[in-house]
Amino acid sequence: YDLPPEEAAEIPKVPGQLADAIAALEADHEYLLQGDVFTPDFIENYIALKRETELDPIRLRPHPYEFVMYYDC
């Protein structure tokens, strides 16, 4: 359905990519510390793990379009 732009602007948005979600978690995770749900160490390690095992391997490889543009003959 259609919303007026000013009403749509008030609706919170979720990150569209994992990198954005991890950055948002890093910037705002105080709510996860309340009630000892998670420890700061757990959150820091989780963020590091996601970066090392999911974000970096993809970021460090060429996109298929880059391959076509630069390496394909």
CA distances from 43 to 16, 19, 51 (A): 20, 15, 12
Per-residue pLDDT at 73 exceeds 90: no
* CB within 8 Å of 23: residues ≥ 6 apart: 15
- Residue 1's pLDDT is what? 67
- Considering the entire predicted model, what is its pTM? 0.75
The residue count of the chain comes to: 73
CB 66 within 8 A of CB 59: no
- Residue 71's pLDDT is what? 83
- Residue 41's pLDDT is what? 98
Centre a 10 Å sphere on the Cβ of residue 38 and count the other Cβ atoms it contains: 14
| 6-48 pLDDT tens trace | 999 999 999 999 999 999 999 999 999 999 999 999 999 999 9
